[in-house]
Chain A
Amino acid sequence: MGFLRVLIRNLLAGPSTDPFPFGETFTPKALRGRVVYDASRCTSCRACEQVCIGGAIRFDNTPEGRRFLLWHNTCTFCGLCAFYCPQDAITMTTDWHLSHAQEDKFKMVEHGLIPAAKCVACGADYVAVAPTAKAFAGYAPSAEEVESLRQCCPRCRRKQAAEIAAAKTKGLPS
């Protein structure tokens, strides 16, 4: 007699058809959808480019800076780039509305630019990537400290990071 219970439940529940595309649909929280890139967090280590299965990610050096390019039409949504990104600059969203007309084929791109800059300390040209977490070994940096390191070229950045670290850890047991 168990089937009667199922029958009554199904009669009360109504059709199980997903109303999409005429209505709302469900999206699992863990769905891997469109990739989003945040240039302000990127250290340009290029691990994402290395692990990308579909060859969707590319870095280019241009006069304006280092350009990040991801073509959604060859991205498999495997999530390796987001997994290997040490800075969480690449994240997967749950957005799966990617179907598009043919004329938009080459517009399905995620862009990002890490701007070129001049070092405030020595005046050298460099690409203003975010400081790595390694630069702040042993202490939690403030937003100003991160920003001041960002304005330095790699050589000056090392020096400044060491100076900040030395000042911060003064008097602490090594």
Chain B
Amino acid sequence: MSLIRTLSSRSPWLYRINAGSCNGCDVELATTACIPRYDVERLGCQYCGSPRHADIVLITGPLTARVKDKVLRLFAEIPEPKVTVAVGICPISGGIFRESYAVCGPIDHYLPVDVNVPGCPPRPQAILEGVAKAIEIWKSRL
């Protein structure tokens, strides 16, 4: 088990949840992952398609009423231990959508958030910094 623990601490898998985001932060997340200039895979991270493979969850968007139940169900499917990163000001505080009738956020009312990366959208370096913080937290939870 300790070998698996050592190995897995080097390769946390990322999973993206769009909780009603405007796509600005998602574009920045794609930039962080896909463009060699920022290349999040240097940290050992990789985006995965299934919530069941995920270790670090990146949530964007203010948690709209429409997607709330789906996001919560998806989040419950992610196995423990997991680290949650709120990307952008919308999941952190509601941002410019705060107090809207269509928005249920901020997201930490529903999910345990570990790291916040504010910005509208945050620049790729800021996201990298947040992911690096999340990896530190994740190592302590293994």
Contacts and interface: CB of A to CB of B under 8 A. Distances in A.
A31 B126 CA distance: 13
Nearest to B112: A102
A96 B133 contact: no
Contacts of A108: 118
Given A17-B42, A102-B116, A108-B118, A76 B96 contact: yes
Given A18-B37, A74-B98, A99 B93 contact: no
Nearest to B136: A101
Contacts of A150: none
A97 B122 CA distance: 10
- Contact-residue size bin, chain B (C-beta under 8 Å from the other chain): 20 to 34
Interface residues of A, number: 29
Given A17-B39, A20-B128, A74-B89, A99 B95 contact: no
A71 B106 CA distance: 14
A100 B37 CA distance: 24
Contacts, number: 96
Interface string B106-142: 0010001111111110110111111011000100000
B95 A16 contact: no
A96 B125 CA distance: 9
Interface string B48-89: 000000000000000000000000000000000000000001
A102 B108 contact: yes
A100 B119 CA distance: 12
Nearest to A96: B126
B36 A73 contact: no
Interface in A1-52: 15-18, 20-22, 25, 31
Nearest to B117: A99
Interface of B: 36-39, 42-43, 89, 92-96, 98, 108, 112-120, 122-123, 125-130, 132-133, 137
**4 cross-chain pairs, A with B, having the tightest CB-CB distances, nearest first:** A76-B120, A99-B130, A74-B93, A99-B117
Interface of A: 15-18, 20-22, 25, 31, 53-55, 71-78, 96-102, 105, 108
24 contacts: A16-B37, A17-B38, A18-B125, A21-B125, A21-B129, A25-B125, A54-B89, A54-B120, A73-B89, A74-B89, A74-B95, A78-B120, A96-B123, A96-B125, A96-B126, A98-B118, A99-B117, A99-B118, A99-B122, A101-B116, A101-B133, A102-B113, A102-B115, A105-B108
